[in-house]
Amino acid sequence: YGRIGHWLTGEIAHHLLSAPAKEWTNALLPEYDGSLARAALWADEVKPPWSKSHHYVNPPRDCTALSPTNCNCILSAIGNYTTRLADPTTPHPARNEALKFVIHYIGDIHQPLHVSGRFKGGTEMKVLFDSHHTSLHEVWDYLMLERSTKFLGLSRTDYAQHLLSNYPSPTPCPSSSSSFSPSPTLPACPLLWGTESANLNCGLVWANLTIGTDLAHSGYYDVALPALEQGVVAAAYRIATLINAIVEMPHDAD
């Protein structure tokens, strides 16, 4: 996502944290006063070159199953940083960074174009949106969410609340372990989350695209926005569920 997508996932996730999890994130993110909304943007602000490939996965083609084998991509990044975050022996600076990466990458994996290799995730797909020349990737990262906020006349905070009230909680991770899951006891299943995004690419993101029309006014926006908003809410639930579970782990009592 672009800025608003990450801000919204962090803000909604914050609402879904348990009381002990709120205390835990306050202590772990002193530089943000515990604000997940602001911490969610950090990974895009720093973006060292070695982390670039951690923001997405490029499957060889859309409409095929994601490969459950190793990659240097968003799937392994979520698994690895979740493991580091859940480990009570991780020293503070690394644990602080792990939390910021986990929040950000769980947001990104719910933006379907971060799970598409076509036109570099749509970054090289030129489109028209509300009379602006832009890329399909930017339409999904933030342009549709900004348009929706403006159309509803809501502040970002109220838009976050509106989304939380209008979309259901997502399907939980299965209790058996799956590829890229850090451990079967932690609710993180990036391969399944990525598969939901991959299915959206196949059925909606690219299938509905009509070249040469303004995507804000051609019907594309009306079909795409609910799918995008549902992903934002799903990401928020999954971030909060994961943090709540880590805080409840018995060996993390101190």
Among ligand ADE, Zn ion, none, what does residue 123 contact (CB within 5–8 Å per kind)?
Answer: ligand ADE
DSSP string, 163-206: HHHHSPPPPPPPSS--TT-S-TTS---HHHHHHHHHHHIIIIIT
The tokens for 7 are 């801000």
| Distance in Å, CB of 164 to ligand ADE, minimum | 26
DSSP string, 10-32: HHHHHHT--HHHHHHHHHH-GGG
| Distance in Å, CB of 138 to ligand ADE, minimum | 11
Chain-centroid distance of CA 247 in Å reads: 21
The tokens for 36 are 């997940």
| Distance in Å, CB of 148 to Zn ion, minimum | 17
| Residue 66 contacts residue 59 (beta carbons within 8 Å) | yes
| Distance in Å, CB of 21 to Zn ion, minimum | 23
- Judged by beta carbon, residue 119 or residue 162, the one nearer ligand ADE is 119
Dist. CA 242–CA 245, nearest whole Å: 5
Does residue 54 bind Zn ion (CB under 5 A)? no
- Judged by beta carbon, residue 116 or residue 230, the one nearer ligand ADE is 116
Does residue 3 bind ligand ADE (CB under 6 A)? no
Q: Which stretch binds ligand ADE (CB under 6 A): 16-24, 87-95, 118-126, 153-161?
A: 118-126
Among 9, 25, 82, 116, binds ligand ADE (CB under 6 A): 116
Does residue 141 bind Zn ion (CB under 5 A)? yes
Say how many residues touch ligand ADE, by CB under 6 A.
9
Dist. CA 215–CA 77, nearest whole Å: 32
Please state whether 122 falls in left (phi above 0), alpha (psi between -120 and 50) or beta: left
Does residue 113 bind ligand ADE (CB under 6 A)? yes
3-state secondary structure of 135: strand
Q: Which stretch binds ligand ADE (CB under 6 A): 60-68, 111-119, 199-207, 211-219?
A: 111-119
Does residue 75 bind ligand ADE (CB under 6 A)? no
Does residue 138 bind Zn ion (CB under 5 A)? no
- Judged by beta carbon, residue 114 or residue 247, the one nearer Zn ion is 114
- CA 5-9-14 angle, to 5 degrees, is 150
Dist. CA 254–CA 250, nearest whole Å: 10
Nearest one of 49, 101, 52, 62 to 78, comparing CA atoms: 101
Among ligand ADE, Zn ion, none, what does residue 121 contact (CB within 5–8 Å per kind)?
Answer: ligand ADE
Judged by the rule CB under 5 A, the positions of this chain that interact with Zn ion are 44, 55, 108, 141
Judged by the rule CB under 6 A, the positions of this chain that interact with ligand ADE are 55-56, 58, 113-114, 116, 120-121, 123
